[in-house]
Amino acid sequence: MSKEADRNWQELANAVIVQAAKDYRLAQYRNMKRPEQENTLREIRSLETFFRSKWFAVLSNLDGKRLLRDLREQMGLEG
C-alpha cells in the first residue's frame, strides 16, 4: 500500500472513531434528558459494543475499553 493510501485509510479510521465518540456522547446526553428511552439505550449499547470490538482494534491502536471509560468519566457517568 502506498504512503498516501495508508494515510487516507488512517484518516478514515480516525474519522469513524471520532464520530462514534460524538454519537456516544449525544446518546448519553439524550439518556440523561429522557431516561430509559429504548432507542437511545439500544444506540448506547451498540456504540459500547463497537468500542469493545475487534473491528475497533482493526481501526485503531487505541484501547477501546479505555476510551469508553474515559468518555464515561468525562460525562460524569463513572467516578
Domain count, the chain: 1
SS3 38: helix
Assigned domain for 10 exists? yes
What would the pLDDT profile of 11-63 be if each residue is shown by its tens digit?
999 999 999 999 999 999 999 999 989 999 999 999 999 999 999 999 999 99
Assigned domain for 32 exists? yes
Assigned domain for 79 exists? no
Q: Are 74 and 35 in contact (CB under 8 A)?
A: no
Q: Of the candidates 78, 2, 34, which has an alpha carbon nearest to the alpha carbon of residue 67?
A: 78
Q: What pTM did the predictor assign?
A: 0.91
Assigned domain for 16 exists? yes
Q: Are 19 and 11 in contact (CB under 8 A)?
A: no
